[in-house]
Chains A and B, each alone.
Chain A
Amino acid sequence: MAQTRLVRRLDIWDRLNDALRAQGDRLLLAGLWLFFLTFGAWAILTETDAFAIGVVTGSVLALGAIGLTLIFGILKFAHFAHGDSMMLAAYIAFFLLTGTMVGDRTDTQALPFTLNDLPGATERLPWIDAFGGGDFSFGYGLLLALLLTALVMGGLFVILDRLVYRPLRRRHSSIVILAIASLGIAISMRSVILVFWASSPRFYVPGIRPTTDLPFDVRIVTDQIFIFVAAMLTAALVYFLLFRTKLGKAMRAIADNSDLAQVSGINTEQIVIWTWVISGALVSVAGVMLALQARLSPELGFVLLLPLFAATILGGIGSPQGALVGGMIIGISQEVAVSFDFISPGYKFSVAFVILILILLVRPRGLFGAKA
């Protein structure tokens, strides 16, 4: 009798503990959201310019992070080649557009026909007159180049999967081996960029870029509006794919439980191939937007890995909505932080690092992550 009472008391104690922990968890999440939203609101009011740039940077980061989180969800490894893939894609688009490549001493024209040779391809796309401001810096040639690059990168990713990742999967290699393999691919990609396009920065369109005045005295480069809109449209497409199409649902099913997906009759290897194709397209959009926002530079992709992973983990690994929000938060924090006088712009990426460490300490599963 006494024993049952003791057991019951322990049971109640356990339940109370669980309830408290669950409550604490909810409070912490609410606190994190409150913190980020307050920070955002404050940044809009006081650092409006930096906030606007941050939104643009954030949307590029978000695109990269969505791809990263997708690959993690389905293949279960950290794709360290993501940043360099973005940069490689940016250079491939550059090559298709201009045909420029490093020659013996100077740059040479390596392609007999480039997208810039198309009639009117370099004519600047017009920004909507009613809003005022200058046009975009690029013509429709860049959009075509982006489309072709998406196909090339999709193909490249599928080939890399066949040559590297699939044999490792078949051998039941650990996720560490897969991640290290992707690190090797990252270094190879950077070397390819250095061999073909050398180390000095390049631009899709040389020269000064037109700007636009937005409400609240914010002046940004017109291209940045394009970057933001393109990134949001792409994110919406990914959302549609994942939640409204059969392929996307199968991708989420595999992310949930790949054994059960296989048992249900889903051809998991086929879905893996589609995942790479989609990731290739995502990496291309993200890479070209990054190069449009900053520049083409061989080491930029690798440098970007830290904010990309920070965004992915902050949002919750495997969650596409999380990656979108995480990318935005990291992008905005970076830009706003370096707009203060006491933080030099050189420390931009350390902001991502600080957020990454804090989130790992406080809530490792991120804002949208499922319970382990």
Chain B
Amino acid sequence: MTAILQAEGVYAGYGEVEILHGVSLTVNEGEIVAVIGPNGAGKSTLLKAIFGLVPVSNGSVRLLGHDVTNLATDRIVAEGMSYVPQTDNVFPSLTIEENLEMGAYTRRNGIGDRLDHVFGLFPDIAPRRRERAGRLSGGQRQMLALARALMLDPRVLLLDEPSASLSPKMVDSIFEKIAHVNREGVAILLIEQNAREALGFSSRAYVLAMGENRFEGDAQGILDNEEVGKLYLGE
């Protein structure tokens, strides 16, 4: 298995406040990797640090063997990593098609083919391509946000709580979509509040606490781990 994304001993935070104290993780080709942990563990900060949105003060982030630590986001995106924020992840006044075009901003040609491909993946939003994204429902917005992140055909996709504030039915269909995208060859790193469900369809998982690695292993192992269950899965 080849590693697509490797974070090693990442220290990061906002200004004086350090939130991550040497976190490491690896995402291999074809994997869905979940990061779980209590509120304030630094899960979101970890994704942002990997994506260059929060400065990494020590440690490194490597994407396909290239060092991308603290690179400008437009460069990181061009290297093959995309990111979907938890909230405000569509451009409400732009049309659905324009949202997707913005996802492919760094791409010069072949946007039409990519649009067709992405609309094929998300048939729900395809017929509404000329409508403003602000009119979509919560679940459809999440679909559009995913679609936007796929426009550059990334190798790895970072998802910040894709199921947040969705109805249980919508959560299932979003997870289904994520698994589908993964089967098409996109490695996925996601953080989730719905830890149990996330672990259900992930390959491996990391448990984060107080900005440090606490546990790691295959998803089933984490699910079966008594201590993790007691501390983080609410048993």
Report A's interface with B, CB cutoff 8 A. 246, 249-250, 252-253, 255-257, 259-267, 370
Contacts and interface: CB of A to CB of B under 8 A. Distances in A.
Interface string B147-180: 0100010000000000000000000000000000
Contact of A260 (B51, B85, B98, B101): B85
A250 B53 CA distance: 19
A250 B105 contact: yes
B51 A249 contact: no
Contacts of B91: 252-253, 256-257, 260-261
Interface stretch (B1-9, B28-36, B73-81, B187-195): B73-81
For chain B, give the interface size range: 20 to 34
B88 A266 contact: no
A48 to B, nearest CB: 38
B101 A249 contact: yes
Contacts of A264: 77, 102-103, 105, 148
Contacts, number: 62
B105 to A, nearest CB: 5
A258 to B, nearest CB: 10
Contact of A256 (B94, B101, B103, B148): B94
A253 B152 CA distance: 17
A264 to B, nearest CB: 5
21 contacts: A249-B98, A250-B102, A250-B105, A253-B91, A255-B93, A256-B92, A256-B93, A256-B94, A257-B92, A259-B88, A260-B90, A263-B51, A263-B53, A263-B77, A263-B83, A263-B85, A264-B105, A265-B73, A265-B74, A265-B152, A267-B74
Given A260-B90, A261-B91, A263-B83, 7 more contacts: A249-B101, A252-B94, A253-B91, A253-B94, A263-B51, A265-B103, A267-B72
Contacts of A255: 93
A266 B74 contact: yes
Contacts of B148: 264
A152 B11 CA distance: 46
Contacts of A259: 85, 88
B106 interface: yes
Nearest 6 pairs between A and B by C-beta? A265-B77, A256-B91, A265-B106, A267-B74, A265-B74, A253-B102
